Chain A
Amino acid sequence: MMHLRGLMLALLALCVAVPVAAQDSLPPAPYAYNQLSDPQQEAAAQALMQTLRCLKCQSQSIADSDAPMAGDMRHQVRTRISMGEDPEAIRAWLIDRYGDYVSYAPTISETTWPLFAVPLLLILVALIVLWRRIRRRA
């Protein structure tokens, strides 16, 4: 039993140690973990950061990720917003470099239009069915 516990602990330590070894040694960018002093600007930055994908850890937003690159992206977002740039312009700047993939905000495009069209179509079909049933009863 002790053996197993030791092994488990060693495995756990390994899990923790490996990602740390692949990190850089520089301190985080100034605005990676510091909020902007203007609460309105910080709110705008937060809203944007929650809809931008971390490129290193692709199922997290840059607001959720502790990857150094996500920190640098947050720094980029906050400094640009503090200089008065529009959040959507920052999103557009990133999409311009990485494609739609970097943004979590849904857009209607050549490949995504069925996602928006199918629910509308289903509602329409349901309404037609309903209407015909009601008419039959009456």
Chain B
Amino acid sequence: MKRWILWVPLAMFFGFCALFAYHLARPKTEFVASTMIGRPLPEFSLRAAVADRPALATADFRDGKPRLFNVFASWCIPCAAEAPQLEMLRRRGADIVAVAIRDRPDDVADFLSRYGNPYSRIGADDLSEVQLGIGSSGVPETFVIDGDGMITYQHIGDIRASDVPVLLQKLEEAR
């Protein structure tokens, strides 16, 4: 029996230790990115989530104008945190439409009166069907949709101030 072979298991043990240490030290990403980028929005037609904004359907995206598509909910705390940034985007000329996930009209209206309403249309996604259809895995998320109804970009999580120029840039690219 060759002597060096005896050392192989020990070497493998240290090899695994190094592998574990490396992967434990790496920051964990909990985001599941949509694989729908570069593909058209699925067909949907939702009822209006609140009385003072029109409903949302796929056809509304096909008017040649790129827009932001925000996935939010009144029960979602980060959604309240991103409200000022959405308002800033609206003031800089972005058209923002949204779906409210699993929400009551009264709760949505209350949320909007409290944190502002930057949306031109809001659909009610009561069974998360649109959310599943576009590969979104949580709230809030924001997609850039071009004038043909094509998904061109996904932002996961709440929009921070530093994300505003990025989203404006992506909107410009979708033109």
Interface residues of A (CB under 8 A from B): 22-26, 29, 55-56, 58, 68-69, 72-73, 75-76, 94, 96-99, 101-102
Residue of B with least CB distance to A94:
B132
State whether the Cβ of B115 lies closer than 8 Å to any Cβ in chain A.
no
**How does the 8 Å CB contact mask read for B121-141 relative to A, with 1 for contact and 0 for none?**
000001111011111011000
Assuming the contacts A55-B137, A99-B32, asked whether A25 and B132 have C-beta atoms less than 8 A apart, the reply is no
State whether the Cβ of B34 lies closer than 8 Å to any Cβ in chain A.
yes
For B32, the chain A residues whose CB sits under 8 A away are 55, 58, 98-99, 101-102
State whether the Cβ of B77 lies closer than 8 Å to any Cβ in chain A.
yes
Q: Are A25 and B107 in touch, CB under 8 angstroms? A: yes
User: B127 contacts which of A23, A29, A56 (Cβ < 8 Å)?
Assistant: A29
Assuming the contacts A23-B75, A24-B75, asked whether A98 and B135 have C-beta atoms less than 8 A apart, the reply is yes
**Which of A22, A26, A29, A56 has the most C-beta atoms of chain B within 10 angstroms of its own C-beta?**
A26
For A96, the chain B residues whose CB sits under 8 A away are 35
Q: Label chain A's interface by main secondary structure.
A: helix
**How does the 8 Å CB contact mask read for B11-42 relative to A, with 1 for contact and 0 for none?**
00000000000000000001011111000000
User: A22 contacts which of B76, B104, B131, B134 (Cβ < 8 Å)?
Assistant: B76
For B102, the chain A residues whose CB sits under 8 A away are 24, 26, 68, 72
State whether the Cβ of B73 lies closer than 8 Å to any Cβ in chain A.
yes
For A73, the chain B residues whose CB sits under 8 A away are 128, 132
Chain A to chain B: the 8 pairs with minimum beta-carbon distance, closest first:
A97-B135, A55-B137, A72-B128, A24-B102, A26-B102, A24-B75, A29-B127, A99-B35
Q: Are B103 and A24 in touch, CB under 8 angstroms? A: yes
For A23, the chain B residues whose CB sits under 8 A away are 75
- Chain A: minimal CB distance from B173 (Å): 23
Q: Are A26 and B138 in touch, CB under 8 angstroms? A: no
- Chain B: minimal CB distance from A31 (Å): 9
- Chain A: minimal CB distance from B37 (Å): 11
User: B129 contacts which of A22, A25, A58, A76 (Cβ < 8 Å)?
Assistant: A76
Supplied contacts A24-B75, A69-B131, A94-B132, 7 more A-B pairs, CB within 8 Å: A22-B77, A25-B104, A55-B137, A69-B137, A72-B127, A98-B34, A98-B135
